[in-house]
Structure 1
Amino acid sequence: MMNADPQELAKFSELAHRWWDPESEFRPLHRINPLRLDWIDRAVSLAGKRVVDVGCGGGILAESMAQRGARVLGIDLADKPLKVAQLHALESGVAGLEYRAVAAEALAAEQPAAFDVVTCMEMLEHVPDPASVVKACAAMVKPGGWVFFSTINRNTKAFLFAILGAEHVLKLLPKGTHEYAKFIRPSELARWCREGGLVLNETRGMEYNPLTQRYWLSSDTSVNYLVACRKSAA
């Protein structure tokens, strides 16, 4: 069985043509991308690294990492976003960037311990078995390499902010973008990381002020949060 929800794939495929419009439904991704990109680059220094971006969608993060000098493979199971990513890469003329329609688990079996860096951002809360994706990410990274995740906590505040607030009140995202039951507590993600042989290095929260429309990283992981891990070099 493929670890993907057909409804999720269809949902993002329908919006694929708007992926690179910074004022579209993907505006939040465009706004947070500099934050997550700089956070990753500070930890690992992307230049010259071989990177796989799991659940790359239309390629916003993948392309920006390639612009920092990484050799990036973006993977996803939604065909339309991948085609948008490929077209945008051609138009941008970014070197060291390619895309494939392949599952994380399949790539992990094909290329174990092959990447210096693995990123999986805003994706785990959209798949039936997120633990399986975490395991695959851990399998793909080289010993001593880095794995970065971002997702949404599961609690009352996250429901109010990420679903009621972002989707229904502020309309930052289309209604139905997220399902509360698929949100992931930091303790759950940490356990899956440990089970995959990853050592947690840092956890950061991401906050948003609707009045100033500003995003920033903080120590508050109660809603959106990011996790940096390393695979043991032993």
Structure 2
Amino acid sequence: MRPHTSVRAIRSIQRCIRQPAQTQRPTLSQSLRLPYTATRAFTTTPTRPHNPSRSPDSTVDPTEVSHFNALASSWWDPHGSSRLLHLMNPLRHDFIASCRFNDPMTPSQKLKYLDIGCGGGIFAESAARLPDTHSVTAIDPTPGVLKIAEGHKRRDPLLMEPGRLTYLNTSIEDLPLPTRPEEAYDIVTLFEVLEHVNAPGPFISNLLPHVKPGGWLVMSTIARTWTSWLVTNVMAEDVLGIVPKGTHEWGKYVNEDELRGYFAKEPGWDGASARSLGVMYVPGLGWKEVKGGEDWGNYFFAVKRLE
């Protein structure tokens, strides 16, 4: 990384975290409910260009859509720009299994998944192949990556079975709400998405109704700390180049305690059941569990909806 680039980045971070002396800092739950801006200011409406083709309440960031459209062609290259997502996928399944270990399904029950921000379908495909899966619905607002996902799906006859894996080019705001509990999903996943939306609080509020009573919301994201900035923005993007430049915006990261505070106050959710797991990518070794890592870097988070 060039010296002058580093100086600009550090000054940018300093501007992000500086609080006016006369301004009271919002509580953690308030900060999650409010949308982010580029300077981490707490405002009442998302700062994004208007797009008449989307819901006026959409939390989709058009800049993020353009960024991931540009990466679409390499989504299924295990050595390409999505390499870290491929390597993380087994941990995703392990974490879901750990959440459900003491919450077993009935013998005849098969799981319905909703994968939000599915990208090219790395997790969606793997979930659809599991023997205890009934169906996977995977949504993404990025048409380029969904085209790749659809094409890759056609390589596997199992995934082409009616209802097994369905891709929808839509945002969560435009996905029809379930009218009956059985229409909702047992597992709603949100992997590496929360740090790419304009307003995490409203975004999460829109997806909650899609979780079946007794079901789980499972996600992975990144804590907003100096360590995460050094690891994800400086090392991963600028120095090692293992993540495409512009993938991460530090000001959009969400801390684990912010999520816990949100669900502790959100009606209908078992905040006491919330689980988290810190993880870290180690070059040459892949993703590893790191005790306490949820406080400073990448982490998984899950919470159960009350029966």
Aligned alpha-carbon RMSD (Å): 1.8
* Distance in 1 between residues matched to 2:276 and 2:93, nearest whole Å: 15
Q: In 1, Cα distance between the equivalents of 2:267 and 2:282?
A: 35
Within the candidate set 274, 277, 282, 1:204 is matched to: 277
Indicate whether 1:98 and 2:160 are aligned: no
Partner of 2:117: 55
Q: Which of 178, 181, 194 is the matching residue for 2:251?
A: 181
CA distance in 2, matches of 1:181, 1:121: 18
Q: TM-score, normalised by structure 2?
A: 0.71
Structure 1 residue matching 2:175: 3-state secondary structure: helix
CA distance in 2, matches of 1:112, 1:172: 44
8 Å contact kept, 1:154–1:185:
yes
Cα gap change, 1:112 to 1:208, in 2 (>3 Å): farther
Partners of 1:225 and 1:134 lie apart in 2 by: 17
Cα distance in 1, alignment partners of residues 111 and 172 from structure 2: 19
SS of the residue corresponding to residue 109 of structure 1 reads coil
Segments of structure 1 that go 5 or more residues without pairing to the other structure are none
Q: Identify the residue that residue 120 of structure 1 maps to in structure 2.
A: 190
SS at match of 1:74: strand
Distance, in Å, in 1 between the alignment partners of 2:176 and 2:186 is 13
For normalisation by structure 1, the TM-score amounts to 0.92
Give the counterpart of 1:109 among 172, 177, 202. Answer: 177
Cα 1:5–1:112 shift into 2, 3 Å: farther
Offset, 1:137: 2.5
Aligned partner of 1:25 among 69, 77, 81: 81
- Residues 178 and 210 in structure 2, CA contact (< 8 A), matched pair in contact too: no
List gaps (5 residues or longer) in structure 2: 1-55
> Which residue number in structure 1 is paired with residue 8 of structure 2?
none
2:152 pairs with 1:88: yes
Distance 2:247 2:190 in 1: 17
| Alpha-carbon offset, residue 88 of structure 1 | 0.8
1:79 Cα deviation from its structure 2 partner: 0.6
Match for residue 231 of structure 1? 305
- Which amino acid in 2 is paired with 1:197? G
1:39 Cα offset (Å): 1.7
2:288 pairs with 212, 216, 223, which one? 216
Instruction: For residue 186 of structure 1, report the CA deviation from its aligned partner.
Output: 0.9
Based on CA coordinates, which of the two structures has the bigger radius of gyration? 2
- Partner secondary structure for residue 228 of structure 1: strand
Alignment match, 2:42: none
1:9 alignment partner in structure 2: 65
Deviation at 1:108, TM superposition (A): 5.6
Q: Give 1:162's aligned residue.
A: 232
Give how far 1:111 is off.
5.5
Identity of aligned residues (%): 36
